[in-house]
């Protein structure tokens, strides 16, 4: 069908009649593929490998949702988006969900017509400087030139922080993280600021990481999470509870390795049974198969497994769980019960 | 007895020119050191070149082709510069984006056939019959790149046949103008309502085709060439029409052309690309998927055609009025005089400008990386997003610059060839 539209338009750009849109869930099921907006490339969170297969922590969320809805973690069409076009792409219906290190803020949630379906990574904005600059704290950065990526909350946080502390700075606005990294290395700015996770990832790639340090101050709260369009609650529920399922799975010890076995028959723990669909019929309430969560977990494992595989300490990015540990282990990752 | 005058019976052997008048030394004396100021400039220029090579070559010549990731390059004591392993690792991606490996012969074939298709346009010594292939190529190329059933492109092509037949038949009955209007309408109706239905029916009856490849898989240099070549091929005719429209005596046509040109030229290309990627999504009905690459091609085309129109208008304005008057005096009608007298001369004058616009357009295709399309420049960000290659920059930019240079340089060489060939002044 898409094909004939393409050729038809080459022939003549005509007026095309549209059919009234059904819910996103029906669209996704009808297309057989989930259109998921991701970053064009951010270490650990989203990037295509040499074979064009997308990998990363944000990508894993897309795959989990696709598996929950369509039963196949590869039934995803990844739409690489820059910060400038990400929200309009979502609002105009070009993508079904956005999983692109997007900070949950009041104005985005309320004013932009977005619904945040949860938080998959608690981040915060930090600063990186050269050690030979002799700076030990962000409060000593008065008058510094600072590389920032535009169109993000980073820019606004920075302005707030410097105003609150009565300091001045000279911004060097840059489009992408990779470019900012290069500018920083080339000495175009004294300070590079972005989310602390990205700072750690960036520093790890330097030829000599020891010459650089991340300052202790974290100046903002950056809860990053998947986003859907406002006004389609059933679809928002699916994304939200798929993420919650991944977290509950970690809490309950359901892993990629044992999910098939545990989901085969009801076990002793009733919440695991409800999660994996052997009891309760939660899937039907979402309009999905009974084993939706089992499918989602089977793609890349539970939340903890995804974290370790993509950004965890064993990866070159080397992030510790920190705030992103389960609430039972002193972190913020918490989910309402499956009941 | 007549006395024979002294006549030399054999020629003297040719002597080699004196040492100072041949070879490199003569060339250098004439071209580089012909005067004091010239010598100073040459000396400085040579110094700059040597300095740049001195700085750049050691960086470039590194035994790093086999590196699997950036860390290997950092750790290897033999490598103190470029980490070329990235190019080996991602060459395929930089060329074809995410185009399926098994199907990559298709873009290659499409590219080779494109060279065949443009050859008769570029070189007039080739047989004119090859033009038929050039006319069919756009459909063939689209089919090769996107794949799918063969019937779609064939049925679109059939629209031209329908228009032609309708025009021929009606011209005898109803007169030229009505025949033309009806033919255009019939073709449009066929494209809008007939093509989809008939091609689907034919596909059902006789499925002939190749695997469909979605636009999302397009990327790398292939994407740049697809957008660039389509833009170039479409913007020249559109530009000619706009230039003629701007010069026209007909008020409406003139106002429309001027309005279009001035509006499009007054807007940066990136704005148009944002409109294509973002705004059109709001205008179109929710269920219509209107290919992003196609939208970009349309925007790039209208952008380039506005510039092209002005370049060609320059050529038209440069022609002496006598040429227009002579054409009128010969009794040629408007289209004949344009086709036979005005355009060949005006286009010849405009060649440098036209090729300049082409080169600009081809390089401007890299702007699509800002709206998230993964052309070579867009791929840089993606490649840096992987743990293996995070931090690689100059190697990629050098390689991409080289790829673009090959294309733009051939374009500019061709334009020089064409100018020389068409030179009629002495």
Can you read off the two tokens belonging to residue A162?
Answer: 């410097």
Which residue of chain B comes nearest to A176, CA vs CA? B381
Among residues A220, A253, A281, the one where a domain terminates is A220
Sorting pLDDT into bands at 50, 70 and 90, what band is A18?
very low
Asked if A9 has any chain B CB less than 8 Å from its own CB, the reply is yes
Question: Using CA of residue B373, residue B377, residue B379, residue B385, what is the dihedral sign?
Answer: negative
Sorting pLDDT into bands at 50, 70 and 90, what band is A12?
very low
CB count in 10 Å sphere of residue B419: 14
Helix, strand or coil, per DSSP, at residue A98: strand
Residues A27 and A160 grouped into a single domain: no
Which residue of chain A comes nearest to B185, CA vs CA? A12
Query: For residues B80 and B190, what is the distance between their CA atoms, to the nearest angstrom?
Result: 63
- DSSP-derived pairing of the beta strands A76-81 and A34-39: parallel
Query: For residues B296 and B293, what is the distance between their CA atoms, to the nearest angstrom?
Result: 5
The closest CB to that of B288, out of A12, A18, A77, belongs to A18
Chain A CB contacts of B71 under 8 Å are: 316
Which residue in A311, A278, A292 sits closest to A241, CA to CA? A292
Whether B329 has a pLDDT exceeding 90, the answer reads: yes
Whether A304 has a pLDDT exceeding 90, the answer reads: yes
Could you tell me which residues come within 8 angstroms of residue B416 by beta carbon, excluding any fewer than 6 positions away? none
Specify the pLDDT at position A278: 92
Q: Kindly determine whether residue A50 and residue B93, on different chains, have CB atoms separated by under 8 Å.
A: yes
Asked if residue B252 lies in contact with residue B183, where contact means CB atoms within 8 angstroms, the answer is: no
Chain A CB contacts of B146 under 8 Å are: 3, 6
Specify the pLDDT at position B210: 87
Chain A CB contacts of B387 under 8 Å are: 43-44, 315-317
Specify the pLDDT at position B13: 85
Among residues A160, A190, A220, the one where a domain terminates is A220
Q: Kindly determine whether residue A16 and residue B284, on different chains, have CB atoms separated by under 8 Å.
A: yes
Query: For residues A166 and B257, what is the distance between their CA atoms, to the nearest angstrom?
Result: 55
Q: What share of chain A is helix, strand, coil (3-state, %, to 5)?
A: 40, 20, 40
Query: For residues A198 and A58, what is the distance between their CA atoms, to the nearest angstrom?
Result: 13
Residues A118 and A239 grouped into a single domain: yes
Asked if residue A333 lies in contact with residue A307, where contact means CB atoms within 8 angstroms, the answer is: no
Whether A97 has a pLDDT exceeding 60, the answer reads: yes
Residue A338 lies inside a defined structural domain of this protein: no
Name the residue range of residue A172's domain. Answer: 125-220
List pLDDT tens digits, range A28-75. Answer: 999 999 999 999 888 889 999 988 899 999 999 999 999 999 999 999
Helix, strand or coil, per DSSP, at residue A224: strand
Residue B227 lies inside a defined structural domain of this protein: yes
The domain tally of chain A equals 2
Asked if residue A97 lies in contact with residue A65, where contact means CB atoms within 8 angstroms, the answer is: yes
Can you read off the two tokens belonging to residue A142?
Answer: 């008065």
Q: Kindly determine whether residue B285 and residue A17, on different chains, have CB atoms separated by under 8 Å.
A: yes
Q: What share of chain B is helix, strand, coil (3-state, %, to 5)?
A: 75, 0, 25
Q: Kindly determine whether residue B387 and residue A206, on different chains, have CB atoms separated by under 8 Å.
A: no
Chain B CB contacts of A47 under 8 Å are: 382-386
Specify the pLDDT at position B166: 87
Could you tell me which residues come within 8 angstroms of residue A204 by beta carbon, excluding any fewer than 6 positions away? A316, A317, A318, B390
Q: Kindly determine whether residue A10 and residue B294, on different chains, have CB atoms separated by under 8 Å.
A: yes
Asked if A314 has any chain B CB less than 8 Å from its own CB, the reply is no
Residue B368 lies inside a defined structural domain of this protein: yes
| Whole-number average pLDDT of chain B | 88
Instruction: Give the mean model confidence (pLDDT) for residues B123-147.
Output: 87
Whether B128 has a pLDDT exceeding 60, the answer reads: yes
Instruction: Give the mean model confidence (pLDDT) for residues B177-192.
Output: 85
Residue B95 lies inside a defined structural domain of this protein: no
Alpha-carbon separation of residue A135 from A19, A141, A192, A212 (angstroms): 60, 8, 13, 11
List pLDDT tens digits, range B360-399. Answer: 999 999 999 888 899 999 999 899 888 888 888 889 999 9
The closest CB to that of B380, out of A14, A18, A178, belongs to A178
Q: What is the CATH number of the domain that holds B380?
A: 1.10.3720.10
Kindly state the helix (H) or strand (E) to which residue A173 belongs, with its residue range: strand A169-174
CB count in 10 Å sphere of residue A133: 14
Asked if A231 has any chain B CB less than 8 Å from its own CB, the reply is no
Q: Kindly determine whether residue B385 and residue A178, on different chains, have CB atoms separated by under 8 Å.
A: yes
Instruction: Give the mean model confidence (pLDDT) for residues B45-49.
Output: 95
Asked if residue A288 lies in contact with residue A69, where contact means CB atoms within 8 angstroms, the answer is: yes
Specify the pLDDT at position B360: 92
Helix, strand or coil, per DSSP, at residue A116: strand
The closest CB to that of B153, out of A7, A14, A81, belongs to A7
Residue A266 lies inside a defined structural domain of this protein: yes
| Whole-number average pLDDT of chain A | 88
Residue A110 lies inside a defined structural domain of this protein: yes
Sorting pLDDT into bands at 50, 70 and 90, what band is A311?
very high
Whether A286 has a pLDDT exceeding 90, the answer reads: yes
Chain A CB contacts of B279 under 8 Å are: 88
Which residue of chain A comes nearest to B298, CA vs CA? A10
Chain B CB contacts of A202 under 8 Å are: 390-391
Asked if A47 has any chain B CB less than 8 Å from its own CB, the reply is yes
Specify the pLDDT at position B269: 92
B23 to chain A, closest Cα gap in Å:
46
Specify the pLDDT at position A11: 39
Specify the pLDDT at position A60: 96
Sorting pLDDT into bands at 50, 70 and 90, what band is B286?
low
Kindly state the helix (H) or strand (E) to which residue A81 belongs, with its residue range: strand A76-81
Could you tell me which residues come within 8 angstroms of residue A221 by beta carbon, excluding any fewer than 6 positions away? A122, A124
Sorting pLDDT into bands at 50, 70 and 90, what band is B209?
confident
Asked if A82 has any chain B CB less than 8 Å from its own CB, the reply is yes
Specify the pLDDT at position A14: 33
Sorting pLDDT into bands at 50, 70 and 90, what band is B169?
confident
Q: A333 pairs with which residues across the strands?
A: A326
Alpha-carbon separation of residue B336 from B328, B343, B344 (angstroms): 10, 10, 12
Q: What is the CATH number of the domain that holds A303?
A: 3.40.190.10
Secondary structure (DSSP) of B249-302: S-HHHHHHHHHHHHHHHTS-HHHHHHIIIIIHHHHS-TT----HHHHHHHHHHH
Sorting pLDDT into bands at 50, 70 and 90, what band is B12?
confident
Q: Kindly determine whether residue B386 and residue A48, on different chains, have CB atoms separated by under 8 Å.
A: yes
Can you read off the two tokens belonging to residue B166?
Answer: 């309708």
Name the residue range of residue B359's domain. Answer: 216-426
Specify the pLDDT at position B289: 65
Residues A200 and A275 grouped into a single domain: no
Specify the pLDDT at position B2: 60
Could you tell me which residues come within 8 angstroms of residue A112 by beta carbon, excluding any fewer than 6 positions away? A87, A91
Asked if residue A199 lies in contact with residue A191, where contact means CB atoms within 8 angstroms, the answer is: no
Specify the pLDDT at position A250: 96
Whether A7 has a pLDDT exceeding 50, the answer reads: no
Asked if A209 has any chain B CB less than 8 Å from its own CB, the reply is no
CB count in 10 Å sphere of residue B172: 8
Residue B177 lies inside a defined structural domain of this protein: no
Question: Using CA of residue B225, residue B231, residue B232, residue B233, what is the dihedral sign?
Answer: positive
Residues A45 and A111 grouped into a single domain: yes
Whether B280 has a pLDDT exceeding 90, the answer reads: no
Alpha-carbon separation of residue A91 from A105, A180, A237, B47, B303 (angstroms): 17, 28, 17, 57, 27
Helix, strand or coil, per DSSP, at residue A222: strand
Can you read off the two tokens belonging to residue A45?
Answer: 């969170």
Residues A214 and A246 grouped into a single domain: no
The closest CB to that of A40, out of B74, B92, B381, belongs to B381
Instruction: Give the mean model confidence (pLDDT) for residues B265-274.
Output: 92
Chain B CB contacts of A92 under 8 Å are: 278, 281-282
The domain tally of chain B equals 1
Specify the pLDDT at position B198: 83
Residues A232 and A184 grouped into a single domain: no
List pLDDT tens digits, range A102-148. Answer: 999 999 999 998 999 999 999 999 999 999 998 989 999 999 999 99
Whether A5 has a pLDDT exceeding 60, the answer reads: no
Which residue in B396, B407, B394 sits closest to B365, CA to CA? B407
Residues A113 and A234 grouped into a single domain: yes
Residues A176 and A288 grouped into a single domain: no
Instruction: Give the mean model confidence (pLDDT) for residues A209-238.
Output: 92
Could you tell me which residues come within 8 angstroms of residue B120 by beta carbon, excluding any fewer than 6 positions away? B126, B127, B128, B130, B131, B133, B134
């Amino acid at each position: 069908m898409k094909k004939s539209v393409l050729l038809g338009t080459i022939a003549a750009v005509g007026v095309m009649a549209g059919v009234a849109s059904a819910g996103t869930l029906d669209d996704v099921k009808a297309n057989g593929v989930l259109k998921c907006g991701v970053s064009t490339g951010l270490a650990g969170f989203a990037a295509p490998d040499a074979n064009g297969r997308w990998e990363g922590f944000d990508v894993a969320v897309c795959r989990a949702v696709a598996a929950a809805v369509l039963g196949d973690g590869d039934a995803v069409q990844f739409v690489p988006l820059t910060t400038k076009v990400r929200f309009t792409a979502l609002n105009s219906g070009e993508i079904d969900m956005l999983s692109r290190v997007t900070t949950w803020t009041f104005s985005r949630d309320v004013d932009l017509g977005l619904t945040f379906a949860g938080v998959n990574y608690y981040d915060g904005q930090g600063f990186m400087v050269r050690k030979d600059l002799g700076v030990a704290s962000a409060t000593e950065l008065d008058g510094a030139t600072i590389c920032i990526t535009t169109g993000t909350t980073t820019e606004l946080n920075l302005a707030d922080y410097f105003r609150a502390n009565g300091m001045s700075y000279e911004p060097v606005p840059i489009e992408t993280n990779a470019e900012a990294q290069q500018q920083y290395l080339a000495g175009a700015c004294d300070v590079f600021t972005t989310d602390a996770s990205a700072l750690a990832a960036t520093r790890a790639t330097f030829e000599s990481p020891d010459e650089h340090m991340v300052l202790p101050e974290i100046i903002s709260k950056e809860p990053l999470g998947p986003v859907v369009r406002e006004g389609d609650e059933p679809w928002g529920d699916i994304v939200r509870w798929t993420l919650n399922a991944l977290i509950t799975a970690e809490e309950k010890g359901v892993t990629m390795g044992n999910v098939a076995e545990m989901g085969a028959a009801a076990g002793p723990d009733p919440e695991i049974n409800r999660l994996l669909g052997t009891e309760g019929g939660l899937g039907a309430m979402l309009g999905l198969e009974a084993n939706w969560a089992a499918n989602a977990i089977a793609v890349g494992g539970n939340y903890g497994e995804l974290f370790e595989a993509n950004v965890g300490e064993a990866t070159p990015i080397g992030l510790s769980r920190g705030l992103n540990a389960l609430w039972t282990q002193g972190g913020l990752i918490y989910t309402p019960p499956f009941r | 007895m007549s006395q024979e005058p002294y006549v030399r019976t054999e020629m003297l052997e040719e002597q080699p020119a004196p040492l100072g008048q041949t070879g490199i030394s003569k060339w250098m004396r004439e071209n580089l050191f012909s005067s004091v100021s010239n010598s100073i400039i040459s000396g400085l220029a040579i110094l700059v070149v040597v300095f740049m090579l001195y700085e750049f070559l050691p960086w470039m010549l590194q035994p790093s082709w086999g590196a699997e990731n950036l860390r290997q390059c950092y750790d290897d004591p033999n490598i103190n510069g470029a980490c070329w392993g990235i190019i080996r690792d991602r060459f395929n991606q930089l060329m074809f984006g995410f185009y399926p490996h098994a199907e990559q012969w298709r873009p290659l074939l499409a590219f080779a056939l494109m060279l065949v298709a443009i050859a008769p346009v570029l070189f007039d010594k080739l047989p004119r019959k090859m033009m038929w292939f050039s006319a069919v190529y756009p459909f063939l190329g689209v089919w090769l790149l996107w794949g799918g059933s063969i019937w779609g492109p064939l049925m679109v092509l059939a629209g031209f046949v329908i228009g032609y037949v309708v025009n021929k038949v009606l011209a005898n009955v109803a007169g030229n103008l009505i025949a033309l209007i009806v033919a255009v309408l019939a073709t449009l109706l066929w494209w809008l309502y007939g093509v989809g239905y008939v091609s689907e029916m034919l596909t059902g009856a006789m499925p002939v085709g190749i695997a469909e490849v979605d636009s999302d898989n397009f990327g790398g240099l292939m994407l740049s060439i697809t957008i660039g070549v389509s833009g170039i091929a479409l913007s020249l005719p559109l530009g000619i029409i706009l230039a003629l429209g701007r010069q026209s005596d007909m008020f409406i046509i003139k106002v429309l052309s001027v309005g279009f040109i001035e509006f499009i030229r007054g807007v940066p290309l990136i704005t148009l690309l944002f409109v294509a990627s973002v705004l059109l999504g709001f205008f179109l009905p929710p269920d219509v998927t209107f290919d992003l690459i196609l939208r970009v091609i349309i925007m790039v085309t209208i952008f380039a055609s506005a510039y092209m129109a002005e370049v060609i208008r320059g050529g038209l304005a440069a022609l002496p009025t006598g040429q227009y008057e002579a054409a009128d005096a010969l009794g040629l009608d408007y289209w004949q005089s344009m086709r036979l007298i005005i355009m060949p001369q005006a286009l010849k004058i405009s060649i440098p400008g036209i090729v300049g616009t082409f080169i600009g357009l081809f390089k401007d295709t890299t702007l699509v990386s800002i709206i998230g399309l993964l052309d070579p420049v867009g791929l840089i960000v993606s490649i840096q997003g992987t743990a293996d290659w995070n931090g690689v920059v100059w190697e990629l930019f050098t390689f991409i610059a080289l790829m673009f240079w090959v294309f733009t340089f051939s374009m500019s060489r061709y334009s020089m060839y064409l100018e020389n060939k068409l030179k009629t002044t002495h």
